[in-house]
C-alpha cells in the first residue's frame, strides 16, 4: 500500500487530521485498531479556541455551527472553584461546546471519508522505519501483516504511542502522585451524589448525570499513586472509594465502564522527528482537569493539517513544517503547567484551604478580564514569530468580523472555510500588495475589501487557515513572508504553486 500521509490512530484527533488532509486533496490512510467507535465518554468539552478554529475550517458539528454566537460561559470551574467566566468576542461561536468524544469521532470520520480518506479499522501500526524519502509502516490487520509506504506519518495513537516510541522521540515525564477512578454507573438513589464538584476531607467526587446512560463519576485521592495503574477496576472497589470520600454508603450497580487515571504527565521533547509528527495524547498527557486535553489535540490537528497538506502539494516553504513543533509544544507545556497548578489547589491541608479561599475571590473578580478563562480556553495563545521581521499582530488570533467585498457582505470565518491562507487588502496599499502576491495565487486567497480595513494602521493581513495572523503590514515585506511560508511561488520555482484548491467547504 502506498499513500501520501498515513495516520496511526483513529480517535477524534486522528480523524480530524485525516479530514483536514483529505479536504486539501491529499491521499491519506487512517489505521485504527478498534473495529468500532468506543462509546466510553472520555472527554465532553471543546473550549473556545478549538471551537473557533474548527469553525474557520468548517468542521464544527451542525448544531454548534448554527448556535448563538458570543454567549460567554460563566459557570465553568478552575480547580473545582465555580464561576469561572470564559468570554469570547460576540462575533465568535459559543465558548464551550459540549459534545462527547464518540460523537466527535464519528463526525470527523464522516468528514474524512466524504473527502476521500481511507479509514482502515482493525489495523494497528506495529513498526516504522523512515528515511529521507518517506516512512515505511508495518501494519497488523485481520488478514495478517501488511506494509504501507507513506511520505509522512502522523502519530495520533494515544498516550502509549507506538509511533512515538518507534520514532525514538524521548519525553519529559513526571510520576503520578495521586489516585483517581472514573466510571459510568447507575446509582440506586439518583440524588445520592450531586452533580458537580464535591470536596470532602477525604478527597473529591466529580459527578454528572447522563440521561439514559447513568451517572458519570470521577474520584480523586491525593494520598498517593496506585501501585499498578493498569489493574482493572471492580464495581466494589469503585463503590467503596466513592462511599469513602462521600462519608456515607453509596449504592450503585450496572457499570458501563470503569477505569483508573492519575496526574502522570508526559510531554514529548519534539513533536516532529523527520517525516513523523505527533498529535494529541501521543505528544502530551496531563491531569484531566478543566477539559483541556481534547481541545489541545484538536488544535494540534488544525495547526499541522494545512502545513502538511501544502508540503505534500509542493506549496510549502522549506521550513514551514518545522514551525509545528515550537507552536504546539509551547501550547502543550502551558496546559501541563496550568493543570499542575489546579491539582495543587485541590490537595488537602489548611494552607491549601486558605489559598483556595483567596483564589475564589480572584476567580470571581476575573469575570470581566477573563485572564483565567482565556488560559483554560487557549484564547491567550500567541504563536512565536515566523517571519524575519514580525509585526505586532503576527502570531495573534484574527477575530471574526464582518467584511464588505465587491461581491457583498461576509466574515472571516466564511472566507477561511475553503482552507486557503487569506490575504485581506484594503486602502491605498491594495494595488501594491496585489502585484506582490500574484505568483502565490491560487495557493493564497486574495480578497480586496470595499469597506473599512481589518484594523487600524493595517492595510494588509495574511491569515492562516487555522485563524492566526501569518503576516501583516507593519512588519517585513509581504514577498519575503510569502516566500517563507509558501516557497518560490507559481512560475518562479520548480514544484510550487500547483493550484490545488481544497475539496471541503
Domain 382-505: assigned CATH number: 3.40.30.120
What residue has cell string 512560475?
491
Task: Give domain limits for the chain.
Answer: 2-69+100-173+266-346, 179-261, 382-505
| Helices 293-312, 12-23: crossing angle, 10 deg rounding | 30
Q: How far from each other are the two terminal CA atoms of the chain, in whole angstroms? A: 29
Indicate the SS3 state at residue 488: coil
Whole-angstrom CA distances from 163 to 138, 139, 266 are 11, 12, 15
The DSSP string of 65-106 is HTSPSS--EEEEEETTEEEEEE---TTS--SEEE--HHHHHH
Q: Give the cell for residue 103.
A: 460523537
Domain 179-261 and domain 382-505, same fold? Reply is: no
Judge residue 501's burial from the number of C-beta atoms within 10 Å of its C-beta, 0-12 exposed, 13-18 middle, 19 or more buried: middle
* 496 has a pLDDT exceeding 50: no
Q: Which residues contact 357 (CB under 8 A, 6 or more apart)?
A: none
Domain 2-69+100-173+266-346: assigned CATH number: 3.50.50.60
179-261 CATH pick, 3.30.390.10, 3.40.50.2300, 3.40.800.10, 3.30.70.2450: 3.30.70.2450
The answer to whether the pTM exceeds 0.85 is yes
What residue has cell string 515525564?
173
CA 90 to chain centroid: 22
For 287-329, what is each residue's pLDDT tens digit? Answer: 999 889 999 999 999 999 999 999 999 999 999 999 999 999 9
For 52-108, what is each residue's pLDDT tens digit? Answer: 999 999 999 877 755 556 555 657 899 999 989 899 999 999 999 988 899 999 999
Of the candidates 419, 439, 425, 413, which has an alpha carbon nearest to the alpha carbon of residue 471?
425
Beta strand pairing status for 124-130 and 203-210? unpaired
Beta strand pairing status for 445-448 and 422-425? parallel
* 500 has a pLDDT exceeding 80: no
Percent of the chain having pLDDT more than 70? 93
Of the candidates 112, 160, 161, 121, which has an alpha carbon nearest to the alpha carbon of residue 273?
161
Q: Report how far residue 391's alpha carbon sits from residue 166's, in angstroms, rounded to the nearest whole number.
A: 40
Q: Report how far residue 276's alpha carbon sits from residue 218's, in angstroms, rounded to the nearest whole number.
A: 35
Confidence label for 355 from pLDDT (cuts 50, 70 and 90): very high
* 497 has a pLDDT exceeding 60: no
> Which sign, positive or negative, has the C-alpha torsion 58, 59, 63, 68?
negative
Secondary-structure breakdown of the chain: helix, strand, coil percentages, each rounded to the nearest 5: 30, 30, 40
Looking at residue 320, what DSSP letter applies?
Answer: G
Whole-angstrom CA distances from 100 to 41, 211, 242, 287 are 6, 13, 24, 19
- Whether 289 and 339 have beta carbons less than 8 Å apart is answered as yes
**pLDDT attached to residue 74:** 58
Of the candidates 103, 124, 156, 111, which has an alpha carbon nearest to the alpha carbon of residue 21?
111
Q: Report how far residue 470's alpha carbon sits from residue 485's, in angstroms, rounded to the nearest whole number.
A: 9
Q: Report how far residue 177's alpha carbon sits from residue 340's, in angstroms, rounded to the nearest whole number.
A: 11
For 409-467, what is each residue's pLDDT tens digit? Answer: 999 999 999 999 999 998 877 888 999 999 999 999 999 998 766 765 578 999 999 99
Q: Give the cell for residue 245.
A: 470520600
**pLDDT attached to residue 501:** 43
Amino acid at each position: 500500500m502506498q499513500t501520501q500521509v498515513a495516520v496511526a490512530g483513529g480517535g477524534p484527533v486522528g480523524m480530524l487530521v485525516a479530514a483536514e488532509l483529505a479536504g486539501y486533496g491529499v491521499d491519506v490512510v487512517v489505521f485504527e485498531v478498534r473495529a468500532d467507535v468506543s462509546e466510553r465518554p472520555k472527554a465532553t468539552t471543546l473550549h473556545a479556541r478549538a471551537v473557533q478554529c474548527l469553525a474557520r475550517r468548517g468542521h464544527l458539528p451542525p448544531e454548534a455551527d448554527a448556535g448563538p454566537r458570543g454567549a460567554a460561559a460563566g459557570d465553568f470551574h478552575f480547580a473545582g472553584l465555580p464561576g469561572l467566566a470564559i468570554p469570547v468576542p460576540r462575533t465568535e461561536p459559543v465558548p464551550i461546546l459540549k459534545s462527547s468524544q464518540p460523537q466527535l469521532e464519528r463526525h470527523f470520520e464522516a468528514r474524512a471519508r466524504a473527502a476521500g480518506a481511507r479509514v482502515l479499522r482493525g489495523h494497528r501500526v506495529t513498526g516504522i522505519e523512515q528515511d529521507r524519502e518517506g516512512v515505511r509502516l508495518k501494519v497488523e490487520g485481520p488478514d495478517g501483516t501488511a506494509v504501507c509506504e507513506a511520505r509522512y506519518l502522523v502519530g495520533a495513537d494515544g498516550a502509549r504511542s507506538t509511533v512515538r516510541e518507534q520514532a525514538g522521540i524521548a519525553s519529559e515525564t513526571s510520576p503520578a502522585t495521586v489516585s483517581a477512578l472514573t466510571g459510568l454507573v447507575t446509582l440506586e438513589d439518583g440524588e445520592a451524589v450531586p452533580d458537580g464538584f464535591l470536596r470532602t476531607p477525604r478527597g473529591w467526587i466529580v459527578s454528572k448525570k447522563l440521561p439514559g446512560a447513568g451517572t458519570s463519576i470521577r474520584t480523586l485521592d491525593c494520598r498517593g499513586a496506585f501501585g499498578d495503574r493498569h489493574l482493572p477496576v471492580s464495581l466494589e472497589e469503585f463503590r467503596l472509594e466513592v462511599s469513602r470520600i462521600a462519608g456515607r454508603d453509596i449504592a450503585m450497580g450496572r457499570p458501563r465502564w470503569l477505569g483508573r487515571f492519575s496526574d502522570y504527565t508526559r510531554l514529548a521533547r519534539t513533536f516532529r522527528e523527520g517525516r513523523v509528527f505527533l498529535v494529541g495524547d501521543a505528544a502530551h498527557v496531563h491531569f484531566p482537569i478543566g477539559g483541556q486535553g481534547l481541545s489541545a489535540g484538536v488544535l494540534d490537528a488544525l495547526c499541522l493539517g494545512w502545513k502538511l497538506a501544502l508540503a505534500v502539494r509542493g506549496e510549502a516553504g522549506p521550513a514551514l513544517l518545522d514551525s509545528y513543533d515550537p507552536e504546539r509544544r509551547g501550547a502543550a507545556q502551558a496546559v501541563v503547567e496550568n493543570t499542575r497548578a489546579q491539582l495543587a489547589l485541590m490537595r488537602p491541608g489548611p494552607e491549601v484551604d486558605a489559598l483556595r479561599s483567596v483564589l475564589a475571590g480572584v476567580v470571581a473578580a476575573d469575570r470581566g478580564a477573563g485572564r483565567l478563562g482565556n488560559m483554560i480556553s487557549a484564547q491567550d495563545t500567541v504563536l512565536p514569530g515566523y517571519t524575519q521581521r514580525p509585526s505586532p499582530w503576527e502570531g495573534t488570533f484574527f477575530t471574526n468580523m464582518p467584511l464588505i467585498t465587491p461581491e457583498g457582505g461576509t466574515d472571516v470565518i466564511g472566507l477561511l472555510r475553503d482552507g486557503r491562507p487569506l490575504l485581506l487588502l484594503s486602502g491605498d496599499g491594495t494595488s501594491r500588495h496585489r502585484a506582490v502576491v500574484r505568483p502565490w495565487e491560487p495557493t493564497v486567497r486574495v480578497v480586496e475589501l470595499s469597506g473599512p480595513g481589518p484594523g487600524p494602521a493595517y492595510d494588509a493581513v495574511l491569515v492562516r487557515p487555522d485563524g492566526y495572523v501569518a503576516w501583516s503590514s507593519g512588519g517585513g515585506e509581504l514577498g519575503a513572508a510569502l516566500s517563507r511560508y509558501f516557497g518560490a511561488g507559481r512560475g518562479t520555482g520548480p514544484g510550487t504553486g500547483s493550484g490545488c484548491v481544497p475539496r471541503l467547504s
